Amino acid sequence: MMDLVQLRQDLVEQLAELGHRVDDFEHDLREPLEADFAEQATQMEGSEVTSALEHTAILQAQQIKAAIDRIDAGSYGECVNCGNQINPERLRVRPHATRCVDCAA
């Protein structure tokens, strides 16, 4: 049986870490551009990468929040499609998984 108290604590810590990362990305994206046009092009490319990383972190945070909500609601580990239990090994690897292997396929 999975220790949901520990899992919830781990997820809350991951969520906080992602929040810090998103804050850092936001800070980086607000930096003014250099006066030199060549340097601006380099900065803009970097901004695109930073923006993509920020988007990924936000999506991960949403998945983690949803997993915490399922723990709190008592429905963690149940497939949202078929209602069967999600394999604990799958949840160990993807704690935010919402579907069993069969439904995910």
What digits encode the pLDDT tens for the residues 17-66? 999 999 999 998 888 877 777 777 777 788 898 889 999 999 999 999 99
The answer to whether the beta carbons of residues 29 and 51 sit under 8 Å apart is yes
- Three-state SS at 103: helix
Calculate what percentage of the chain has a pLDDT beyond 70. Answer: 99
DSSP code per residue over 34-62: PSSHHHHHHHHHHHHHHHHHHHHHHHHHH
Please tell me the predicted confidence (pLDDT) of residue 70. Answer: 96
The answer to whether the beta carbons of residues 21 and 57 sit under 8 Å apart is yes
Calculate what percentage of the chain has a pLDDT beyond 90. Answer: 73
Q: Where are the domains of the chain?
A: 4-75
Q: Across the chain, what does the average pLDDT equal?
A: 91
